[in-house]
Structure 1
Amino acid sequence: MSTTLPGFEFVTAGKVRDLYAPTGRDDLLLLVANDRVSAFDQVLSRPIPGRAALLTALTRWWFGHLPDVPNHLADDAVPVPPEVADRAMLVRRLSMHPVECVVRQVVTGSGYQEYRRVGSISGVPLPEGLQDGDRLPEPIFTPAYKAELGAHDENIPFEQVVDLVGARTAEALRDTSLAIFRTAAAVANAKGVLLADTKFEFGDDEHGVLTLGDEVLTPDSSRYWDAAAYAEGRRGVSFDKQIIRDWLSAHWDGHGTAPDLPDEVVERTANRYRELVDRITG
């Protein structure tokens, strides 16, 4: 699952990304994306060709278009091995906060399921009668507690975020997440894309500055829908791995190991990733 990189020491392999540290540096990490794809908390056996480079390029593009938000990129600190340069980010180590900062402007997915059960998402009360895919008047902050690898993240109310990180940091996480979302949603809308929801991860740098980390506004961390299709009433025409989720839901009961994806699903997913990156960055 890992590759030997000269000048770097392998740290760990996550679901869809491997981490390395520059030899002799404890302040930096090399995040190397790969073409593996996960769904329903499983890493699937079939990769999506070109996925890693596309998601890395999109994350870098968004970092460049969010100049007012500190991020963890450290491109010039040490040379990155050329064999992974198109899918790697050299970053500063952060003290990460244990909160997934989820922002939604559409009620769908796990958020809609929670709304159906209790009438709210992460403790945020919502109007009665919402249907899957309904757009909210304003984006809402619906945080989740980061679960251990292999477990489900747990939606939590804002008050629990305060308990975890303190009131000042909790407010900064919420306000910064909502501000980024509004900026990104406007950019996406101008490109004919509806940003339904996304998640951010933040940490503090060595000076205690709240810093945006991990991947940002990619199809793996966000739901992007075709805006024209949505306006026509066709909800959920996505640019993310919903194609994979839909196929698995129709062909797998969720128990045991997920089945291999057919070629057609792999190709369609890769094409949707490419189309989104071209739309957003073009």
Structure 2
Amino acid sequence: MPTTLLQSNLPGLDLIHRGKVRDVYALSDDRLLIVATDRLSAFDVVLPDPIPGKGEMLTQISNFWFDKTAHIIPNHLLEVPLGEVLPAGTDLSLYAGRAVVTRRLKPVPVEAIARGYLIGSGWKDYQATGKLCGIALPPGLKQAQQLPEPIFTPSTKAAVGDHDENVSFDAVVDAVGRELAEKVRDATLAIYRWAAAYAAERGIIIADTKFEFGTDASGKLYVMDEMLTPDSSRFWPADEYRTGISPPSYDKQFVRDYLETLDWNKKAPGPHVPGEIIERTRAKYAEALERLAGIRLD
């Protein structure tokens, strides 16, 4: 059965970061323990109610994609049993499906985003300027239309409660150097193209997705954090896709739609979410996990 964890508590381990969803602990100078909780964020605000089992689903789908794309780029996962690193007395069953031991890398300070379809902030940019994150696009495209080819549209990495901002590729070059910027761009697009083709065979369109990357002491590039999850991607059921609308998606859209009906300024603290909305959201995450990875969490 899926477990529920709003916030991890691992006495004796050094908590170095508590993000919107993940809690990160230092195990040593070169290893981390990353715990995916069931916290839910919307509009960059962490909401007070968890989605039961969400962290387990995010971890399992990330691990699936990390394995499938290892031929494209190495990832941060290490094959270390959790029982060797969790504090004595910890309920292993609570963490087994949601925690991983990883390399401790130097993060590349960029959200690496691949877009294959014109939606979200990209659609808004295009309506206003005819461009997507500064990249000129053909005139007359419709909402949710597939782009002529996938494009790399990086953004800044915002702190909890702040919003990411789209930046140009030149800004990434200025921040990290041309060689690393090109490696991140090329890896982002290569992973997206491979995963989009894989998902399409299973009736799912990956409209866009974001990755995070890090380097080790030698400068070698790895993909890290999460990968191609409903939190970091737009997954659309292919049989319900059409242009001119924002297609239904396998993510927290139920929550976003509910929050849009409230008199809420989209700042912390976030409002409580009804049980029905939580359950419908959980079911969407579970469906994506099963359709893409063939994994069921009963």
Q: TM-score, normalised by structure 1?
A: 0.93
Taking the aligned partners of 1:13 and 1:183, their CA distance within structure 2 comes to: 31
Matched, 1:53 2:56: yes
CA distance 1:258–1:3, shift in 2 (3 Å): closer
- Counterpart residue type for residue 47 of structure 1: P
Contact 1:122 1:144 in 2 (8 A): no
Q: Of residues 264, 279, 288 in structure 2, which corresponds to 1:267?
A: 279
CA distance 1:103–1:232, shift in 2 (3 Å): closer
Q: Specify the alignment match of 1:206 in structure 2.
A: 217
Give secondary structure in 1 for the equivalent of 2:213.
strand
- Counterpart residue type for residue 267 of structure 1: E
Counterparts of residues 1-282 of structure 1 (less than 5 Å):
2-5=7-10, 8-22=13-27, 25-68=28-71, 69-76=73-80, 79-81=84-86, 82=92, 83-230=94-241, 235-256=246-267, 257-282=269-294
- Counterpart residue type for residue 60 of structure 1: N
Please, which moves more after superposition, 107-116 or 228-237?
Answer: 228-237
- Counterpart residue type for residue 55 of structure 2: A
Contact 2:112 2:153 in 1 (8 A): yes
Taking the aligned partners of 2:176 and 2:182, their CA distance within structure 1 comes to: 10
Q: Specify the alignment match of 2:3 in structure 1.
A: none
Taking the aligned partners of 1:252 and 1:192, their CA distance within structure 2 comes to: 37
Contact 1:122 1:158 in 2 (8 A): no
Please, which moves more after superposition, 112-121 or 157-166?
Answer: 112-121
Deviation at 1:117, TM superposition (A): 2.1
Deviation at 1:10, TM superposition (A): 2.3
Deviation at 1:251, TM superposition (A): 2.3
Contact 2:45 2:266 in 1 (8 A): no
Deviation at 1:75, TM superposition (A): 2.4
Deviation at 1:7, TM superposition (A): 5.8
Give secondary structure in 1 for the equivalent of 2:230.
coil
- Counterpart residue type for residue 49 of structure 2: R
CA distance 1:114–1:235, shift in 2 (3 Å): closer
Give secondary structure in 1 for the equivalent of 2:256.
helix
CA distance 1:105–1:252, shift in 2 (3 Å): farther
Deviation at 1:67, TM superposition (A): 1.9
Tell me the C-alpha RMSD between the 2 structures: 1.8
Q: TM-score, normalised by structure 2?
A: 0.89
Taking the aligned partners of 2:263 and 2:216, their CA distance within structure 1 comes to: 42
Please, which moves more after superposition, 225-234 or 86-95?
Answer: 225-234
Taking the aligned partners of 1:267 and 1:4, their CA distance within structure 2 comes to: 25
Q: Deviations over 1:191-222 (max 9, x none)?
A: 10000000011111122111101100000000
Give secondary structure in 2 for the equivalent of 1:90.
strand
Give secondary structure in 2 for the equivalent of 1:145.
coil
CA distance 1:252–1:128, shift in 2 (3 Å): farther
Give secondary structure in 2 for the equivalent of 1:62.
helix
Give the strand-richer structure, 1 or 2: 1
CA distance 1:253–1:129, shift in 2 (3 Å): farther
- Counterpart residue type for residue 57 of structure 1: Q
Please, which moves more after superposition, 120-129 or 36-45?
Answer: 120-129
Gaps of 5+ in 2: 1-5, 87-91
CA distance 1:77–1:165, shift in 2 (3 Å): farther
User: Number of aligned pairs?
Assistant: 280
- Counterpart residue type for residue 182 of structure 2: E
- Counterpart residue type for residue 34 of structure 2: L
CA distance 1:86–1:162, shift in 2 (3 Å): same
Contact 1:46 1:260 in 2 (8 A): yes
Taking the aligned partners of 2:266 and 2:104, their CA distance within structure 1 comes to: 36
Give secondary structure in 1 for the equivalent of 2:261.
helix
Contact 1:9 1:20 in 2 (8 A): yes
Give secondary structure in 2 for the equivalent of 1:148.
coil
